Amino acid sequence: MMTGRMRGQAFITFPNKEIAWQAFHLINGYKLHGKILVIEFGKNKKHSDLHAASLRSSATENTTKTSGS
């Protein structure tokens, strides 16, 4: 059955950014069946710059919180 998606890819939606970042940090680079998993955030054509800025801001906040600063 053809779905229009490339073989070997998965698309996952998380309930919020914090959980998405946790998954990113836990799974990116993990070796599964001899292949390294590469995690990327999806891009929205209209709002890609705004979304990327929001994720960077969220990552900075999460890093600050976890480092105790």
pLDDT digits (tens, 9 = 90+) for 13-46: 999 999 999 999 999 999 999 999 999 988 776 6
Q: What is the pLDDT of residue 55?
A: 61
User: Is the whole model's pTM more than 0.75, yes or no?
Assistant: no
List helix spans (H) across 11-47.
17-27
φ, ψ of residue 26 to 5 degrees: the values are -80, -35
More confident residue, 8 or 47: 8
Confidence category of residue 5, pLDDT binned at 50, 70, 90:
low
Q: What is the CA radius of gyration of the chain?
A: 15
Q: What is the pLDDT of residue 25?
A: 94
